[in-house]
Amino acid sequence: MKQDEMANRMISSLGLPVSSQSEYCPDCGALVPVIPDGPVHRYFGASSGCWVLYAALLSREFSTFDARTHQLSVDTYAVQHPGTPSPQTTQSVCTHLVALCLSLEHEYGVEDIRPMMGDVSKGRFFTPVWLAAPAASVWPVTIVDLLDATSPEDYGAAVRQWAEATWQAWSAHHARVQAWSDGAIAAR
């Protein structure tokens, strides 16, 4: 089955009407179905088709729950959809980038990251600043690349690939995010 058919099927399974047209998500650049008047996230810059497709993937994540995969997935989706500058989006991007750094560069597990993120999101280690995201055209992996993975193992591997490619795409800001992460690690 082609990616767009799989995407349509997943969205329809949530009971939402899907049009036969596709559009590019403005933030991640994935080609996703158009959902007329569909729901959008409060501050992520995702199109409705992208956001709903992610919601459908999340429900699949919960049914075969792997906490580490879920953490990577949430952090990756957030930093691929930074939206426009505001106090909320600024904090969201910084916090999720630190979480990705702790997961991928330091191999911390969820049980370590969750308590650390509580302190990070309270602004204990740094003052969030707006970090300009890479242009959408450079995201090498997006949520549509997760659609082929049906087993929990394949899905976990696909999410890991998505997370690593996305973290690499943010390389212009790695030094700063690494310094923030070091602050969180030092305070453990």
Which residues make up the interface to Zn ion (CB under 5 A)? Answer: 25, 28, 46, 50
* Structure tokens given for 9: 């099927």
- Cβ proximity to Zn ion: between 135 and 175 the closer is 135
**CB of residue 25 vs Zn ion: minimum separation in angstroms?**
3
Q: Of 28 and 104, which CB lies nearer to Zn ion in the complex structure?
A: 28
- If the CB atoms of residues 46 and 159 are measured against Zn ion, the closer one turns out to be 46
Nearest approach, Cβ of residue 95 and Zn ion (Å): 19
- Alpha-helical (H) ranges within 36-137 are 48-63, 67-80, 87-104, 110-121
Structure tokens at 45: 């810059």
Q: Are 64 and 152 in contact (CB under 8 A)?
A: yes
Is the sign of the CA dihedral 95, 96, 101, 103 positive or negative?
positive
3-state per-residue secondary structure call for 99-121? HHHHHHCCCCCHHHHHHHHHHHH
The least distance separating Zn ion from the CB of residue 54, rounded to whole angstroms, comes to: 8
Residue closer to Zn ion (CB basis): 79 or 99: 79
Nearer to Zn ion by Cβ, of 30 and 120: the residue is: 30
Q: In the complex, what is the shortest distance from the CB of residue 38 to Zn ion, in angstroms, rounded to a whole number?
A: 13
Do residues 18 and 48 touch, judged by C-beta distance below 8 A? no
Least Å from the CB of residue 33 to Zn ion? 12
